[in-house]
Structure 1
Amino acid sequence: MFTDLDFKFIPSGRGKHLLLIEDHTFNQVKKDFRYWNCSKRTTAGCKAKIKFDNHNNIISYFREHNHSAPKFFIHNGRYVKLR
């Protein structure tokens, strides 16, 4: 397991949640909370992905991204991505 990794769930601009880990964001795969793909999977073809167990422990993490991490700042308690 990957117990040394800090992660958080942040609200997206579309009313869903993103997983933020190691400065990269991930989208939930369908409705299954356990599987997350890199947010750049569709636009950049990034293969990074994460799998959680039922207790929010990371059990699988392919962390090789083919792009740099997005930049965020916090405004009024919300994460805002720089464009």
Structure 2
Amino acid sequence: MLLSTNVIPTGILIYVCLFPVLQWVKKKDGKELAVVNGYTFYCHKSNVKTKTWSCTKGGFCKARLIITNEIRAAHRTVVSAKLEHVHPPPAFIISNGYYVKI
């Protein structure tokens, strides 16, 4: 994973994914997560056409994805993405398609 870091005037470190790669995984409870270059996103809200996926870190991180609302992951399209994070990626592994926090 290639990350770019910048310090903005407020002193907050910004992590930006330079080459985004989207992967779909499931949690133990069956809920889906989107993984983009090591950062995880959960489905924050949904409407008929799109779903908004927010960074799982929450709080001050405003990273978001808006993706078409297709049942099959292979048919989904990213409508927009804001991939600037104010924290490093979470520690996790993916085992047999399932997200495991470490």
Q: TM-score range by the shorter chain?
A: 0.7 to 0.9
Cross-structure match for 1:72: 92
| Aligned 1:1-83 pairs, distance under 5 A | 5-32=20-47, 34-41=51-58, 44-54=59-69, 55-75=75-95, 77=96, 78-82=98-102
Instruction: For residue 26 of structure 1, give the secondary structure of its aligned residue in structure 2.
Output: strand
**How many residues end up aligned between the 2 structures?**
76
Output the TM-score relative to the length of structure 1.
0.73
Instruction: For residue 62 of structure 2, give the secondary structure of its aligned residue in structure 1.
Output: coil
Between the aligned residues of both structures, percent identity stands at: 32
**Is this contact kept in 1: 2:41–2:54, CA < 8 A?**
yes
Structure whose CA Rg is larger: 2
1:49 & 1:36 partners in 2: Cα distance?
6
Output the TM-score relative to the length of structure 2.
0.62
- Root-mean-square deviation over aligned CA pairs: 2.1
Q: CA deviation at 1:70?
A: 0.9
Alignment-mate amino acid for residue 66 of structure 2: K
Q: Any unmatched runs of 5+ in structure 2?
A: 1-18, 70-74
Alignment-mate amino acid for residue 80 of structure 1: V
Q: CA deviation at 1:31?
A: 4.4
1:60 & 1:31 partners in 2: Cα distance?
14
